[in-house]
Amino acid sequence: MITLHGFAASNYYNLVKHVLIYKELPFEENLLYGGSAELLAISPAGKVPVITTDEGLHISESSVICDFIEETYPAMPLYPDNAGERAVVRQIMKIAELYFELPSRRFIPYVFSGAEIPESVKVEVRQVLNRGVKALSRLCRFSPWIVGEQLTMADIYVYHVNTIVSTFGSSQLEWDILAAVPGMKAWNDAMSQSVISQKVEADRLANKTEFMQKVKAQFEAANTKKNSL
Ligand SMILES: N[C@@H](CCC(=O)N[C@@H](CS)C(=O)NCC(=O)O)C(=O)O
């Protein structure tokens, strides 16, 4: 049975969990946070999620895990048969990661520490997000799924990317970023209604308080260290 390591407040963890549930694969969850020695032993970059396979192989990086799951468990496919169409799905996932997820994440340390976000950072993040908005507007169809009639890995991936875009990007820039991509907002709302999304969201909420305590402890430890230098 696959073991999924990480914590439910992580959107990267949740997208892999969503894929596992969608494919009806049995898996167990192992609660691990960033910075732990146990995580570093199985994740080269010390990031979650990580999965441990039946053979005892540890795999990190969410998009790599998604590909591994698809290749190993091809039933209930999440990629199209056609190689060109598969490339479009992966292109959307990559663009969402580079131009939606990562710029929005730039705000996280400021939000968690309560520090003011410098205007220069906001300008830079807005520029990158704008690129993402334009690229995704050109690529996504939302009819009804991102690439058309088949629900694909891109639907699951972008849906969980969007939690970070809304929570950090939109709120800090006072810009409804999802609404800037034609069709995305309605599709995102539909995705959020699925039984799987609701289960993943319930688990995320259940983990939120403990996760925030960990974050607070990390910031306090960093401040103590800074003050003692
Ligand atoms: N590129 C990685 C990013 C994963 C990532 O950033 N995970 C965060 C949680 S959402 C993490 O592990 N943070 C802990 C840390 O940075 O120490 C992926 O796609 O899996």
> Quick check: is 62 in a domain?
yes
Indicate whether 97 and 163 sit together in one domain: yes
> Quick check: is 161 in a domain?
yes
Cα-to-centroid distance, 10 and ligand 1 (Å): 8
| pLDDT tens by residue, 90-121 | 999 999 999 999 999 999 999 999 999 999 99
Cα–chain-centroid distance for residue 20? 14
pLDDT at 19 over 90: yes
Domain that holds residue 200: 2-76+195-227
| pLDDT tens by residue, 58-98 | 999 999 999 999 999 999 999 999 999 999 999 999 999 99
77 lines ligand 1 (CB under 6 A): no
Burial 135-164 (b: 16+ CB within 10 A, else e): bbeebbebeebbbeeebbbbbbbbbbbbbb
For the chain, the domain total comes to 2
Q: Which of 176, 166, 173 is nearest to 127 (CA)?
A: 173
pLDDT at 229 over 70: no
Indicate whether 60 and 113 sit together in one domain: no
Quote the CA–CA distance of 47 and 17 in Å, as a whole number: 15
> Quick check: is 39 in a domain?
yes
Indicate whether 95 and 180 sit together in one domain: yes
97 lines ligand 1 (CB under 6 A): no
Indicate whether 168 and 214 sit together in one domain: no
Ligand 1, atom 18, lies closest to the CA of: 61
Mean pLDDT of the chain: 96
Indicate whether 94 and 159 sit together in one domain: yes
47 lines ligand 1 (CB under 6 A): yes
Residue 31: give its domain's CATH number. Answer: 3.40.30.10
> Quick check: is 96 in a domain?
yes
From 103-112, 114-123, 159-168, 208-217, the region with the lowest mean pLDDT: 208-217
**Widest Cα–Cα separation across the chain:** 59
Indicate whether 172 and 150 sit together in one domain: yes
Indicate whether 102 and 160 sit together in one domain: yes
Quote the CA–CA distance of 100 and 177 in Å, as a whole number: 9
Indicate whether 70 and 90 sit together in one domain: no
Query: What are residue 30's DSSP bridge partners?
Result: 5
Sign of CA dihedral 64, 68, 69, 70: positive
pLDDT confidence of residue 86: 97
Indicate whether 109 and 160 sit together in one domain: yes
* Residue percentage of the chain with pLDDT more than 90: 93
> Quick check: is 189 in a domain?
no
Cα-to-centroid distance, 182 and ligand 1 (Å): 29
34 lines ligand 1 (CB under 6 A): yes
Answer yes or no: are the C-beta atoms of 148 and 132 closer than 8 Å. no
Q: What is the mean pLDDT of residues 6-34?
A: 98
Indicate whether 97 and 169 sit together in one domain: yes
Indicate whether 94 and 135 sit together in one domain: yes
Indicate whether 133 and 163 sit together in one domain: yes
pLDDT at 37 over 70: yes
pLDDT confidence of residue 35: 86
Q: Which of 169, 147, 17 is nearest to 82 (CA)?
A: 147
Residue 176: give its domain's CATH number. Answer: 1.20.1050.10
Q: Quickly state the pLDDT bin for 4 (edges 50, 70, 90).
A: very high
> Quick check: is 190 in a domain?
no
Which of helix, strand or coil describes residue 148?
strand
